[in-house]
């Protein structure tokens, strides 16, 4: 499957990367790009088990990973990407249905085989651990708004004041918790002025949609009713606090996981496990079996029991999906309980879990994988490593202790800010080896080709890593110690950047009580910035110390 030729500047960047890598696989990648064979290119994978040294793996991986997550204009491929997400939804529901049958029997203390009887012993340990970690139900839920869409709030109308003024929606099971919402600033100051016919809308569940996952397939997510997600996020915060009390702070767990993965790639003492479609395969009966009854009742009431999928309502076999405000924390605890039950040790000390990223001692890794399979989960073979020199977790790929993660281009560059992002990604890629100067690294020539695509006045905007993609990262950069507006030396360094221009919507668009309610939810007094609120870019100064 081919498409129109890629922008020549981007083609030169990629070919420069492949030529400097100078391997058989990188040569193949450059040929596929020259001839527009995108599906072949995007289907390539690099197996770390086939490499002896980190450098060789990193160079090949840099070429293979470059376009893997990029939304390329392949003719007809948008439909194929979405179709794969639909197929994953259907297959996940079938798998959850099978798991629900298995755990329905276990809930009745019926074991159909010796395997069930043996699994029951371990699952009771998982259940006891979860009960201890969760503790009592919270006495109150402090709801909050998320950044994304809801069942009734779509497109650009997803800011906090938009959600406050739109008609709220909820599932019928949420009725016992309406008092937690009606007493909030949302209802006191936002909904109070609405007419009687604008009462809360009762909906049957959430709405299925897709978002990009990588170049070959989309990911399915579900958009929750506004009242449900408001309280789901509150429960997610409680579960996050219980995780922290048990030994893992989810706010910083990604960094911890990367450190563990790096160490494990050297000493082999831990395995890294990743699951396929993890949240979509958390079956309802599994959650009912593992959670204390009061916790299951709360979470079950707040979830959406049905999904509007392909034009009709479908009753869910899964418990919750991505889009539910507590799914991430819930799956973290469920996978942690399974690891604990299989003898992984102390949570946060001997093993750790972050969503579906699981790190356990190598001695119990195979047992953990087996129990996960029994509970209805399938490991992602491309991202699960029980042995060898490679480990991967939370975006950290390590080969014998060396960072070897490739750079993923999200979209073909269309403006200077995109080229800056690409240049900085290549620089990070070339700087991953502390023993190699960037100027002699494999990505250096590709980095220069990125700079060629920028106007000269933007090409000069160099700055430190801490300023992100406002500048082109460079170890040396021009700076001024004088305030560019007053001319006074204030002892602060100023760096020229290429920054986005955002236009906040002023508060006169909404009633005064909506402005007050929004302020209580953290909105600034200058107004709110809608989705895709960047209107342009300009060269400016920022202070940097």
Place of tokens 């596929």: 32
Q: What is the pLDDT of residues 464-486, one digit of tens each?
A: 999 999 999 998 888 888 888 88
Residue 355 burial (10 A CB sphere; 0-12, 13-18, 19+): buried
Instruction: Decide: 534 and 499 in contact? Cβ < 8 Å.
Output: no
Pairing status of strand 462-463 against strand 472-473 = parallel
Place of tokens 């960072």: 403
- Does residue 329 surpass a pLDDT of 90? yes
Mean pLDDT over 414-422 rounds to 95
Average per-residue pLDDT in the chain?
91
- Does residue 538 surpass a pLDDT of 90? yes
- Does residue 394 surpass a pLDDT of 90? yes
CA distance 255 to 257: 5
Instruction: Decide: 347 and 246 in contact? Cβ < 8 Å.
Output: yes
In this prediction, residue 425 has a pLDDT band, given cuts at 50, 70 and 90, of very high
Q: What is the pLDDT of residues 125-178, one digit of tens each?
A: 999 999 999 999 998 899 999 988 999 888 777 889 989 888 899 999 999 999
Place of tokens 């449900």: 228
CA distance 136 to 292: 10
- Does residue 196 surpass a pLDDT of 70? no
Place of tokens 């990973």: 65
CA distance 323 to 110: 34
CA distance 106 to 217: 36
Mean pLDDT over 329-337 rounds to 98
State residue 78's pLDDT score. Answer: 72
- Mean pLDDT lowest among 120-124, 162-166, 305-309: 162-166
In this prediction, residue 195 has a pLDDT band, given cuts at 50, 70 and 90, of very low
The region, left, alpha or beta by phi > 0 then psi within -120 to 50, assigned to residue 202 is beta
State residue 408's pLDDT score. Answer: 94
pTM of the model: 0.93
The region, left, alpha or beta by phi > 0 then psi within -120 to 50, assigned to residue 394 is left
- Does residue 83 surpass a pLDDT of 50? yes
Residue 296 burial (10 A CB sphere; 0-12, 13-18, 19+): middle
In this prediction, residue 2 has a pLDDT band, given cuts at 50, 70 and 90, of very low
B/e letters for 333-348, b = 16+ CB within 10 Å, e = fewer, are bbbbbbbbbbbbeebb
In this prediction, residue 224 has a pLDDT band, given cuts at 50, 70 and 90, of very high
Two tokens, residue 352: 């750790």
Two tokens, residue 355: 């969503």
Where is pLDDT greater, at 36 or 291? 291
Pairing status of strand 306-309 against strand 312-315 = antiparallel
Mean pLDDT over 414-432 rounds to 93
- Does residue 412 surpass a pLDDT of 80? yes
State residue 503's pLDDT score. Answer: 84
State residue 74's pLDDT score. Answer: 67
- Does residue 77 surpass a pLDDT of 80? no
CA distance 266 to 113: 40
Place of tokens 């395995």: 271
Give the phi and the psi of residue 349 in degrees, each rounded to 5.
-110, -50
Q: What is the DSSP string of 170-221?
A: E-GGGGGGHHHHHTSHIIIIIITTS-GGG-PEE-SSEEEEEEE-SSS-EEEE
Give the phi and the psi of residue 51 in degrees, each rounded to 5.
-120, 150
In this prediction, residue 5 has a pLDDT band, given cuts at 50, 70 and 90, of low
410 closest CA partner among 211, 253, 156: 211
Give the phi and the psi of residue 523 in degrees, each rounded to 5.
-75, 140
State residue 215's pLDDT score. Answer: 79
Helices 226-246 & 293-302, crossing angle to 10 degrees?
150
246 closest CA partner among 328, 336, 175: 336
Instruction: Decide: 501 and 535 in contact? Cβ < 8 Å.
Output: yes
Helices 327-341 & 362-374, crossing angle to 10 degrees?
120
Cα–Cα separations (whole angstroms), residue 62 to 54, 128, 272, 309, 397: 12, 45, 21, 37, 12
State residue 105's pLDDT score. Answer: 94
State residue 216's pLDDT score. Answer: 80
Greatest distance between any 2 Cα atoms in the chain? 81
Looking at residue 188, what DSSP letter applies? I
- Does residue 197 surpass a pLDDT of 60? no
Mean pLDDT over 526-530 rounds to 85
Two tokens, residue 482: 């004088």
Instruction: Decide: 360 and 270 in contact? Cβ < 8 Å.
Output: yes
In this prediction, residue 288 has a pLDDT band, given cuts at 50, 70 and 90, of very high
Helices 226-246 & 327-341, crossing angle to 10 degrees?
30
């Amino acid at each position: 499957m081919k498409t129109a030729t890629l922008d020549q500047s981007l083609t030169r960047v990629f070919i420069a990367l492949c030529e400097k890598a100078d391997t058989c696989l990188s040569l193949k990648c450059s040929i596929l790009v020259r001839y527009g064979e995108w599906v072949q290119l995007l289907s390539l994978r690099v197996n770390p088990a086939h490499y002896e040294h980190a450098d060789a793996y990193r160079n090949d991986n840099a070429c293979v990973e470059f376009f893997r997550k990029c939304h390329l204009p392949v003719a007809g491929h948008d439909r194929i990407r979405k179709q794969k997400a639909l197929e994953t939804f259907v297959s996940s529901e079938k798998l959850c249905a099978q798991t629900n049958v298995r755990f329905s029997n276990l809930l009745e203390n019926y074991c159909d085989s010796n395997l069930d009887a043996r699994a029951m012993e371990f699952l009771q340990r998982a259940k006891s651990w979860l009960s201890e970690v969760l503790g009592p139900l919270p006495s109150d839920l402090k709801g909050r708004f998320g950044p994304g869409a809801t069942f009734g709030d779509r497109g650009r109308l997803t800011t906090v004041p938009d959600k406050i003024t739109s008609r709220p929606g909820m599932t019928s099971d949420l009725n016992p918790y309406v008092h937690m919402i009606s007493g909030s600033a949302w209802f006191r100051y936002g909904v109070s002025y609405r007419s009687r016919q604008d009462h809360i809308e009762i909906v049957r569940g959430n709405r299925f949609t897709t978002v990009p996952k990588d170049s070959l397939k989309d990911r399915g997510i579900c958009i929750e009713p506004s009242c449900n997600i408001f309280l789901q996020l509150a429960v997610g915060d409680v579960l996050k606090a219980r995780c922290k009390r048990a030994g893992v702070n989810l706010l910083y767990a990604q960094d911890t996981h990367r450190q563990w993965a790096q160490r494990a790639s050297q000493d082999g003492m831990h395995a890294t496990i990743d699951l396929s479609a993890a949240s979509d395969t958390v079956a309802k009966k599994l959650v009912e079996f593992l959670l204390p009854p009061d916790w299951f009742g709360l979470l079950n009431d707040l979830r959406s029991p049905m999904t509007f999928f392909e034009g009709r309502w479908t009753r869910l076999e899964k418990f919750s999906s991505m889009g539910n405000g507590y799914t991430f924390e819930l799956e973290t605890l469920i996978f942690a309980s399974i690891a604990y039950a299989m003898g992984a040790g102390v949570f946060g000390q001997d093993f750790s879990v972050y969503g579906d990223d699981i790190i356990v001692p190598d001695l119990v890794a195979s047992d953990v994988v087996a129990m996960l399979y029994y509970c209805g989960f399938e490991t992602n073979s491309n991202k699960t490593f029980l042995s060898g020199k490679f480990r991967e977790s939370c975006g950290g790929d390590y080969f014998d202790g060396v960072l070897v993660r490739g750079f993923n281009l999200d979209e073909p560059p269309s403006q200077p800010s995109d080229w800056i992002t690409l240049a900085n990604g290549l620089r990070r890629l070339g700087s991953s080896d502390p023993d190699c100067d960037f100027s002699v690294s494999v990505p250096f020539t590709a980095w220069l080709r990125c700079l060629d695509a920028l106007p000269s006045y933007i090409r000069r905007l160099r700055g430190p890593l801490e300023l992100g993609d406002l500048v082109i990262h460079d170890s040396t950069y021009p700076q001024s110690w004088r305030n560019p507006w007053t001319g006074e030396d204030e002892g602060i360094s100023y760096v020229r950047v290429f920054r986005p221009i955002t236009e906040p919507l002023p508060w006169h668009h909404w009633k005064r009580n909506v402005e007050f309610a929004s302020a209580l939810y953290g909105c600034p007094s200058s107004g709110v910035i809608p989705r895709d609120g960047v209107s342009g870019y300009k060269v400016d100064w920022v202070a940097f110390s």
